[in-house]
Amino acid sequence: MKRTLAAGDVLFSEGDAAGSAYLVESGSLAVVADDEGSEVLLSELGAGAILGEMAVIDAAPRTATVRAITDAVLIEIDRGQLAERIERSDPVVRSLLEGLLKRYRGAMSAMRGQVAEAEDGFDHGGGMGKIRLESQLREALANNGLDLRLQPLLEIARDELGGYEALVRWNHPERGPVSPAEFIALAEETSLIVPVGEYVLDHACRALKALHAGGRSPFIAINVSARQLAEQGLIDRIVARTTESGLPHAALKVEITESLSLDYGMVAEVIAECHGHGIKVAMDDFGTGYSGMEHLHRLEFDTVKIDQAYARNMHASKRAMAILQHMVGMVHDLGADVVVEGIEEAAQLEVLQELGVRYAQGYLIGKPQPLSDWLV
């Protein structure tokens, strides 16, 4: 809703209840306060400025008067809109806002000659915990504090181990194991996903070098997010690391997580670059989202990993089995290999063999283990 003021009009006065904040669309306004009967100019605001938000957020009376210097047009942001946006914001943002409010309250109390009320230290929305965890994750990266686990993939027709998926784990010094869903999501929200990806790449190359030195030549698949794909030089770094380690580039595979946010043009270029170096690319977790079919249509994957939910349910009904059969058939028709995740029973493995699935992954094949366990 827009609010129009003529020059000299008062938007609100010191001491008024605060129901809305305002965005100045045009014109200029003066922010003034009373100082023992004299009016003091605190600031002048122009187009693009936001005013009145602190009193609204803090549910406190206005601490100054705002008057139009020239004719002005403002966009009104009511308390409900503001509260909804704050509630839906990241917990870290909410915690930072709470910190600003604490300083604002302290400054207002000092201006009035009052002692500020003691704060209870409550962590609104877990934001401070998130900031703390982010800092600790940075330390773990700097101090080699993340562990690489390798989960095997069985090449079904040959009944041999074909390769591994690299999975990163974090054993927090105070909390113990931190769920990958938690710290990988945190890394995705920050710039940390790139150094986490570099960490996994480095350790995967070291693992491959050790495995190949033992007379075997498995591949290792590393997970790459949409955000990592957008980083310049990703494939150049993969090629450089494999070359430095004396490994064929094809020893590393790239798994791209199914995501609604893929930039098809950019991802197609990355895949083409991978293929130019002999690096195969897989789509991970196929069947979990709404965009998988579009990805298959527009991107040339070498391998498609079918989500574990389809393995769990394959014997639950004819419908579930039919869906799995058609998914496998469709991927084969596109000329790609299939990996089915979540294989825990021999009967499930038999079905995959009948369907011509190339790779199986799951606890029946092997759990994620440190490199040392696979060198025995």
CA dihedral sign of residues 124, 126, 131, 135: positive
Alpha-carbon distance values, 106 to 111, 117, 134 (Å): 9, 8, 28
pLDDT recorded at residue 54? 80
CA distance 95 to 99: 6
CA 238 vs. chain centroid, Å, equals 22
Q: Which two tokens stand for residue 173?
A: 């010094």
In order along its 376 residues, the chain shows pLDDT tens digits of 789 999 999 999 999 998 888 999 999 999 998 887 788 998 999 999 989 888 787 778 888 999 999 999 999 888 877 777 676 666 666 666 666 766 666 665 555 554 444 444 444 445 567 778 888 998 999 999 999 999 999 999 999 999 999 999 999 988 999 998 889 888 887 778 889 999 999 999 999 999 999 888 999 999 998 888 888 899 999 999 999 999 999 999 999 976 656 789 999 999 999 999 999 999 998 988 767 888 999 999 999 999 999 999 999 889 999 999 999 999 999 999 999 999 999 999 999 999 999 999 999 999 999 999 999 7
Alpha-carbon distance values, 74 to 69, 142, 182, 336 (Å): 13, 48, 41, 57
- With a CB cutoff of 8 Å and minimum separation 6, the contacts of 260 are 289, 290, 291
Residue pair 246/213 in contact by the 8 Å Cβ criterion: no
The pTM for the full model equals: 0.70
Give me the residue spans of the domains in the chain. 2-88, 131-374
Superfamily grouping for domain 2-88: Jelly Rolls (2.60.120.10)
> Pairing between strand 160-172 and 146-155?
antiparallel
What angle, rounded to 10 degrees, do the helices at 180-189 and 127-142 form? 90
pLDDT recorded at residue 125? 47
CA dihedral sign of residues 199, 204, 209, 214: positive
pLDDT recorded at residue 88? 64
pLDDT recorded at residue 336? 97
Class of residue 331 by CB neighbours under 10 A (exposed 0-12, middle 13-18, buried 19+): buried
pLDDT recorded at residue 204? 97
Nearest alpha-carbon partner for 26 in 2, 42, 9: 2
pLDDT recorded at residue 211? 95
CA distance 99 to 120: 12
pLDDT recorded at residue 210? 95
Partners of 286 in beta bridges = 306
Which residue has 């113990």 as its token pair?
176
Class of domain 131-374: alpha beta
- Residue 70's SS3 state is coil
Class of residue 28 by CB neighbours under 10 A (exposed 0-12, middle 13-18, buried 19+): middle
Would you say the CATH fold of 131-374 matches that of 2-88?
Answer: no
